[in-house]
Structure 1
């Protein structure tokens, strides 16, 4: 988990729900998942989708679409925090570079809107949601459906984005529960 911005802790008695935007970046599809977390810890599904990028003529236009669509979703749903999946080893260098650029476009969109952003490794997300860091996409899809009470099949990228948001909700609750204000959360690489 890497936190890019810091805020102060709020007393649970006076806290309002926290809206978390989870982003699963990709160069062909970028997953979006939005949840609300009540002060008592209850998590509620708000929105999920996948930004489909293959209709663009160039890769540069894909990056612009990620930036624009993430900003639009932030304006529409007003999240207070953002969680995004960090880079993992790709099969080849070209894929890794494109994924990094897609992440960068999403990060810039969120940070340009003044939001707190935290990064989570894929293995952290899988472990938090499924219980094991080597879980496959179908296990993540199933558990997110169960945890958020969603019916029917979930698109894989959207399910991953919801899983990232749920991981952030659980992590922030644990850290705030032991009295660590957001500004003191350690940075991990």
Structure 2
């Protein structure tokens, strides 16, 4: 199980953006970093700093993925044909925890990682508890029968703060989602601007 190394609200404040678009994000009230030095005036960021910030934001958005794992995802994206930044987004959105989150079975990406890890999900009828499991177009992901009445699931489905993207087909009555196609950057409903091209520049230095 991937360990979260930073509280999710601190990730928001460190980035200075409400990266998940949550109503309760502290950035909605305090748009500066955490800690006693958070309000210090910041100078102009270097190119390296801009690239690093873009990488931290993307990593944080998907549950604060560990650096070794994230670098591995980038390496896979670079090996594939086509635009590396688009490949990177496609690989991240193909993760099982990301699909469970996008389908609104849980309220946060952190909850999605725990939900999968605790064995509440089947992929093509097989129980799967690996958050980073890479789904393929046509895969059917379903909340297991015993888990469909969990309060976290019922509450999340009713949340109005985000919509299910078009590359997923979801039946919330049966709690089943079909992964239709691997999305590109412009298909993903990020609440803030993500810049995977800067992540590619960071790793290409």
TM-score, normalised to structure 1's length? 0.27
Q: Which has the larger radius of gyration?
A: 2
TM-score, normalised to structure 2's length? 0.25
Task: Identify, as 1 or 2, the structure richer in strand.
Answer: 1
* Higher RCO (CA < 8 A, seq sep 6+): 1
